[in-house]
Every structure is written in structure tokens, then in C-alpha cells.
Amino acid sequence: MAGRIRDLPGLGIKSEESLARIGITSVQQLREYGAVAAFYQLQQSAIAESRVKPSLNFLYALVGGLSNRSWLAVAQSERQQLLMELEGISEMERLFQPGSE
């Protein structure tokens, strides 16, 4: 198993650098964190730092890299499920923010 994120299929140095910004620096950390949660954190980080948010293709690439599949295959077969997971994380975050009662 690859230790570096850039060694995963469909990911490279830019992906590795993006994930490092949120503290994910190895494949093991990415697996533990989960592709959807990592992508959500990347989106939040981009908003906070006034950067362009990552596209959904990056989410598909993360899932594909961890499962040794093409991001296109992931986008076709798991798009709806991943979008629902992403929405679920967003909703949980909103519900548990201070003052959201």
C-alpha cells in the first residue's frame, strides 16, 4: 500500500499538498479520516482562506484513489451516495455549531 497520497491512482502532488493544508499527510490518515470528511474539510478550509473550493471531481478522485478506481467510475457509480454523505456532514456541522439551537 502506498504511503504517500501522490502515489494513489488519480492523485498527485497537488492533491497531496491540498490535503496537507488540513493536516492529512499520509494514505493511512486519509483512510482514517475518510474521503468525504476530508473533502468537506477542504471545502471549509477554502472558504475560510478565500480560496477556490475544490470541485466534486476531487472528491471522486479521493474515493477512487483509496479504492484503486478511476474517478470517472466513482462519479458514475457512487455520485448520489457521496453527495448525500457530504450533505449529511454539512448538516451535522450546522446542527452542532454553537448558537444553532
Q: Say if residues 28 and 3 touch (Cβ distance below 8 Å).
A: yes
SS3 of 34, please? Answer: coil
Q: Which CATH architecture group holds 5-95?
A: Orthogonal Bundle (1.10)
Closest among 72, 4, 70, 64 to 36, alpha carbons compared: 64
What's the distance, CA 4 to chain centroid? Answer: 16
Report pTM. Answer: 0.89
In order along its 101 residues, the chain shows pLDDT tens digits of: 459 999 999 999 999 999 999 999 999 999 999 999 999 999 999 999 999 999 999 999 999 999 999 999 999 999 999 999 999 999 998 898 877 55
What are the domain boundaries of the chain? 5-95
**Which grid coordinates belong to 93?**
456541522
What's the distance, CA 32 to chain centroid? Answer: 12
Apex CA 12: angle with CA 60 and CA 30, to 5°? Answer: 60
**Which grid coordinates belong to 23?**
493536516
In sequence order, the 6+-apart residues with CB closer than 8 A to the CB of 62 are 11, 15, 30, 35, 38, 39
